[in-house]
Chain A
Amino acid sequence: MELPPNRPTMEVEQELEGDLGSRRMIINFGPQHPATHGTLRTLIELDGEVVTKMTPEIGYLHSGFEKLAEYRTYNQIVTITDRMNYLSPLCNNVGFSLAVEQMMGITVTPRCAAIRVVLYELSRIADHILSVGLQAMDLGAFSVMLWTFIEREKLYDIFEAVTGARLTTSYTRVGGLLRDVPPDFDEMCRGFMTKCAKTIDEIESVLNTNRIFLDRTQGVGVISKEDAISFGLSGPLLRSCGVKRDLRKDRPYLGYEQYEFDVITAQEGDVWTRYQVRVAEMRQSIRIIDQALKKMPPGPINVEDPRIAIPAKDAYNKPQGGMEGLIYHFKNYMYGHGVRPPKGEIYSSTEAPNGELGWYIVSDGTEKPWRMRVRPPSLYNYQAFPRMCEGRLLSDMVASLSSLNVIAGELDR
Chain B
Amino acid sequence: MDGSQIVEKLKAALPDAVSAAGSHAGQVWVETDRGRILDILRFLRDDPELAFDSLTDLTAVDWLDQGRPERFCVVYNLFSFRNNAYFRVKAWVPEEDPVVESASGLWKAAPWAEREVYDMYGIEFDGHPDLKRLMLPEYYTGHPLRKDYPLQGAGERDNFPKYNRETGA
Contacts and interface: CB of A to CB of B under 8 A. Distances in A.
Interface of A: 1-4, 7, 58-59, 62, 64, 66-68, 71, 102-103, 105, 227, 229-232, 243, 245, 250-251, 344-347, 349, 356, 358, 360, 362, 364, 370-371, 373, 375, 379-380, 383-384, 387, 412-413
Contact of B27 (A232, A346, A375): A346
B interface: dominant SS: loop
B145 A375 contact: no
A375 B56 contact: yes
A313 B44 CA distance: 52
A412 B77 CA distance: 20
Interface in B130-160: 133-141, 144-145, 149, 151, 156, 159
A-B pairs, top 8 by smallest CB distance, nearest first, are A232-B109, A344-B24, A59-B135, A375-B57, A62-B135, A230-B108, A373-B59, A231-B108
B61 interface: yes
B61 A370 contact: yes
Contact of B108 (A103, A379, A384): A384
Interface in B105-131: 107-109, 111-113, 116, 120
A406 to B, nearest CB: 13
Interface stretch (B10-18, B34-42, B81-89): B81-89
Contacts of A4: 138-139
A3 B161 contact: yes
B139 A373 contact: no
12 contacts: A3-B139, A59-B137, A231-B107, A231-B109, A232-B57, A232-B107, A346-B24, A347-B56, A360-B59, A360-B75, A364-B66, A371-B61
Contact of B156 (A1, A245, A356): A1
B168 to A, nearest CB: 8
Nearest to A359: B57
Interface residues of B, number: 44
A69 to B, nearest CB: 11
B101 to A, nearest CB: 18
Contacts of B56: 232, 347, 349, 356, 358, 375
A105 B25 CA distance: 7
A387 B112 CA distance: 14
Contacts of A387: 108
B25 A102 contact: yes
B4 interface: no
Contact of A58 (B54, B75, B111, B134): B134
A245 B24 CA distance: 25
A103 B25 CA distance: 6
A345 to B, nearest CB: 6
B112 A360 contact: no
A379 B112 CA distance: 8
A347 B26 CA distance: 11
B109 A347 contact: no
Contacts of B88: 347
Nearest to A387: B108
B77 A358 contact: yes
B33 interface: no
B53 interface: yes
Contacts of A68: 151
A321 B45 CA distance: 55
Contacts of B29: 345
A373 B57 contact: yes
